Amino acid sequence: MHALHDGTDATGPRVGLIVSKAVGNAVERHRVSRRLRHAARTAVLPHLDATDLVVIRARAGSSDAVSSRLEQQLQRALERLESRRRTSP
């Protein structure tokens, strides 16, 4: 997960997905995209500012993971991002 704070665009937090062919065929990639989009709505969006931009990259094992596991991983990645924000100048 990568994040950027864009102070000029306050249209609401935006989330982008990267699901490469390493994840699987088109059907599997689309399924992973839907599951990640849902997990991002519940686990990530409530914690973002209106000017945040976030990119979520699905890894090769994402198609085998259950939705609750994907949501846990997104929450953990968000916690790491927030801790980096606090420690950076």
pLDDT of 9 strictly over 90? no
Give the number of domains in the chain: 1
Determine the average pLDDT of the residues in 40-58.
Answer: 88
DSSP three-state, residue 25? coil
Sign of the four-CA dihedral 40, 43, 45, 48: negative
Cα–Cα distance, 12 to 15 (Å, whole number): 10
Give the pLDDT confidence score for residue 89 in this predicted structure. 60
Q: What is residue 47's DSSP assignment?
A: G
The confidence band for 31, taking pLDDT boundaries of 50, 70 and 90, is very high
Question: Structural domain of residue 47, as residue ranges?
Answer: 2-87
Q: What is the CATH number of the domain that holds 75?
A: 3.30.230.10
pLDDT of 85 strictly over 90? no
The token pair that represents 53 in the structure block: 């931009």
